[in-house]
Amino acid sequence: MYRFVDHTAELEVELEAGSPEGVLEEALRAFAELVAEPEDERASAEPVERPVELVASDLPSLLAAWLDELLFLADAERLVPESAELSVSGTTATGLVRARPGEPRPLVKAVTLHRLRFRREDGVWRARVVLDV
């Protein structure tokens, strides 16, 4: 589950899942919603896969690194993420991102560290990240 929280010049995203991998997948879904082209303008190109290996000092930093990677794929390679197969071990995430070539909307400018959170609470993994839009 994810939901957007209004914020001046920024967009806060709250994430919730049953595992750390699930939180990162929810972050991908939220990011994809923000950058995806309107459905009638989406490219019919075949999806591509990009390997991912991220190492961070802690889980919140891993979430920020994950979103930075998705932002890089959108900006530099013009890819709209669709899904991922991820494995999280400690503060390392490895796997594959599936994305479709297209024209991602330039809505997200950066991932901020403001209010960044990623931890297990009451048996559920919860995270929060603020995006500069």
Question: What is the per-residue pLDDT across 74-120, written as a single tens digit (0 to 9) for each?
Answer: 999 999 999 999 999 999 999 999 999 999 998 899 999 888 999 99
Residue 50 above 80 pLDDT? yes
- Structural domains in the chain (count): 1
User: Exposed e or buried b for every residue in 53-83, given b needs 16+ CB within 10 A?
Assistant: ebebeebbbbbbbbbebbbebbeeeebbbee
Domain span at residue 57? Answer: 2-132
Decide: 63 and 23 in contact? Cβ < 8 Å: yes
pLDDT at 40: 47
Q: What is the mean pLDDT of the chain?
A: 92
Residue 45 above 90 pLDDT? no
CATH code where residue 66 lies: 3.55.10.10
pLDDT at 43: 59
